[in-house]
């Protein structure tokens, strides 16, 4: 049985909000609010990604985000691989 790819999701317009502007605000499960703590973030499927593809959202593979998280499970925008950062004009 294969393990389907899962994603953490953030909106680049919301990513720089709050006290630490370099810390990503991830969507919580069921699109219910935001969190900086990766442990509290929702994991979204490939189907979710296709369904939400028209929105200006960034889908980061869970493994990529977890690889750059720090002790508090925070992910800083400048630590993500460039392909998972917002493009200019999408912020």
pTM score over 0.95:
no
Least confident of 10-14, 17-21, 47-51, 52-56: 17-21
88 within 8 A of 10, measured Cβ to Cβ? no
- How would you classify residue 30: left for phi > 0, otherwise alpha for psi between -120 and 50, otherwise beta? left
Contact status, residue 62 vs residue 43, Cβ threshold 8 Å: yes
pLDDT tens-place string over residues 41-57 = 999 999 999 998 777 88
Question: In 10 A of CB 35, how many CB atoms?
Answer: 17
Bridging pattern class, strands 26-27 and 7-10: unpaired
63's tokens: 């493994």
């Amino acid at each position: 049985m294969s393990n389907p790819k899962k994603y953490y999701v953030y909106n680049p317009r919301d990513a720089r909000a709050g006290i630490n502007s370099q810390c990503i605000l991830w969507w919580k499960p069921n699109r219910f609010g935001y969190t900086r703590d990766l442990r509290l973030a929702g994991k979204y499927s490939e189907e979710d990604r296709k369904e939400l593809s028209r929105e200006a959202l960034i889908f980061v593979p869970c493994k990529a985000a977890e690889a750059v998280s720090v002790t508090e499970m925070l992910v800083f925008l400048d630590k993500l691989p460039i392909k998972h950062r917002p493009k200019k004009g999408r912020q």
